[in-house]
Amino acid sequence: MTSAPGPIALIGSGETARAGRQAFTALLESLPRPVRIAILETPAGFQPNAALVARKIGTFLREHLPEFQPDVRFVPARRRGTVFDPDEPLVVEPVEWADCVFAGPGSPTYMVRQLAGTRTWQRLLERWQSGLRLAFASAAAIAVSRFALPVYELYKVGADLHWVDGLDLLGPLSFTLAIVPHWNNREGGQELDTSRCFMGQERFAQLVRLLPPETTILGIDEHTACLLDFAEGVARVLGAGTVTIAKQEQSYSFRHGAQFPLALLRSIATTDGL
């Protein structure tokens, strides 16, 4: 009998706040202590302070999840062709050791470019298929989609609307996902709609039309997490906001405490709009 892949926590934002604590607690609660957590540095690997970004997350885990006695190590898979190359065995080693791997803020397209086809990513996939637990927040959640939203390129640089091929973590399980964190972002205030991960509803509607019709959009509000449990075949919503599943102009929304079948991410049968 083949075991199910490990559960995955997808976090819209707030990985070092209450929502993150809830997501990690749900993800790790059945593991023996101490829990071994590896933090993947790739999403912010282009930043001079990439190590500091990862270590702040490690500090959060140790200080706010003491019941798990977190043993934290780092995966410095920052850039191809350097001492931090994701193909270097010493870089990959913490993935072999971990009970759970986390990746978070940074650039989704950078993460895709640096990890696609590498030893780090391949080993993570192999271990996940054997039960390794995964947590992806913000940029990393986008990067593991089938179609990844190039946030910086569109929002900061003004590139033409497009999607890029993501790492497609769930593709082998027959999911075709575009994961969109920061779904309800309001940083733009009254003057600028920054919902839908800074795209705004009008621009995001145009982006949706560029996706193949079989694509399912998984929108995750800020300070909200969606826990995918493949052994049980269900997803749970944690945190302050809502998880939205949208496909072909139809959608479902689920708030904290709600549970829905993972099969819903493959087919939608409702008439609510995006």
The whole-number pLDDT of residue 247 equals: 87
Is residue 272 predicted with pLDDT exceeding 80? Answer: no
The whole-number pLDDT of residue 250 equals: 85
Contact in structure between 182 and 222 (CB atoms under 8 Å): yes
The CATH T-level fold of domain 8-265 is: Rossmann fold (3.40.50)
Q: Quick one: pLDDT band at residue 73, thresholds 50, 70, 90? A: very high
Is residue 2 predicted with pLDDT exceeding 60? Answer: no
Residues 6+ apart with CB under 8 A from 245: 216, 217, 218, 219, 251, 252, 253, 254, 260, 264, 265, 268
Distances (CA, A) of 121 to 13, 35, 42, 51, 88: 23, 21, 11, 19, 12
Average pLDDT of the chain is: 95
3-state secondary structure 185-253: CCCCCCCCCCCCCCCCHHHHHHHHCCCCCCCEEEEECCCEEEEEECCCCEEEEEECCEEEEEECCEEEE
Contact in structure between 27 and 230 (CB atoms under 8 Å): no
Percentage of the chain with pLDDT > 90? Answer: 94
Among 163, 145, 154, smallest CA distance to 220 is for 145
Rounded average pLDDT over 44-52? 97
Rounded average pLDDT over 29-43? 97
CA atoms of 182 and 200, how far apart (whole Å): 11
The whole-number pLDDT of residue 41 equals: 98
The whole-number pLDDT of residue 165 equals: 98
Q: Quick one: pLDDT band at residue 53, thresholds 50, 70, 90? A: very high
| Its pTM surpasses 0.85 | yes
The whole-number pLDDT of residue 138 equals: 97
Is residue 265 predicted with pLDDT exceeding 90? Answer: yes
CA atoms of 69 and 11, how far apart (whole Å): 22
Q: Quick one: pLDDT band at residue 43, thresholds 50, 70, 90? A: very high
Pair of tokens at residue 155: 């929002």
Q: What is the pLDDT of residues 149-175, one digit of tens each?
A: 999 999 999 999 999 999 999 999 999
The whole-number pLDDT of residue 274 equals: 42
The whole-number pLDDT of residue 110 equals: 98
Is residue 45 predicted with pLDDT exceeding 60? Answer: yes
The whole-number pLDDT of residue 249 equals: 74
Residues 6+ apart with CB under 8 A from 149: 108, 142, 163, 178, 180, 197, 199, 207
Q: Which residues of 11-24 are buried (b: 16+ CB within 10 A; e: fewer)?
A: bbbbbbbebbbbbb
Q: What is the pLDDT of residues 103-145, one digit of tens each?
A: 999 999 999 999 999 999 999 999 999 999 999 999 999 999 9
